[in-house]
Amino acid sequence: MADMYSEKVMDHFMNPRNVGEIKDASGVGEKGNPTCGDIMKMYIKVGKKNGKEIIEDIKFQTFGCGAAVATSSMITEMVKGKTLKEAEKISNAQVAEALGGLPPIKMHCSNLAANALQDAIENYRSKISNA
């Protein structure tokens, strides 16, 4: 089974980065896939740098398969320190590519990671506009 996955996927599964929750998160996003049972929760901490909104910290909690954990871990590494605009442009295909590819049957996992991040950004923006 493990030979279906790239070394990078296995590394992010075995040693996931940025696991946990941010208690005072700027935004929180959650996505789930009822078919496979994977659930991802993404927390972002947004700060300002040179007048731009930057993801200063990001953490995730994922209940799911190895690919779900790996894509969650990878996307947190990809967006930490990036502006919200840069983070919003990251697609599930880019997440999968950064991991060295995913088996076609596991591509939906990268969708969940990208979508949970988008949810967290939208959650942050709705808090700001309602403040």
Structurally, the chain folds into a number of domains equal to: 1
* Rounded distance between C-alpha atoms, residue 38 and residue 60, angstroms: 13
Write down the pLDDT at residue 27: 97
Q: Which residues are catalytic, by number?
A: 36, 109
Write down the pLDDT at residue 35: 78
Tens digits of residue pLDDT in 89-122: 999 899 999 999 998 888 888 888 999 999 999 9
Model confidence, pTM: 0.91
CATH number of 40's domain: 3.90.1010.10
* Mean pLDDT of the 38-44 span: 95
**DSSP states along 25-75:** -SEEEEEEETTTTEEEEEEEEEEEETTEEEEEEEEEEEES-HHHHHHHHHH
> Dihedrals φ, ψ of 102, to 5°?
-130, 150
Structural domain of 104: 2-130
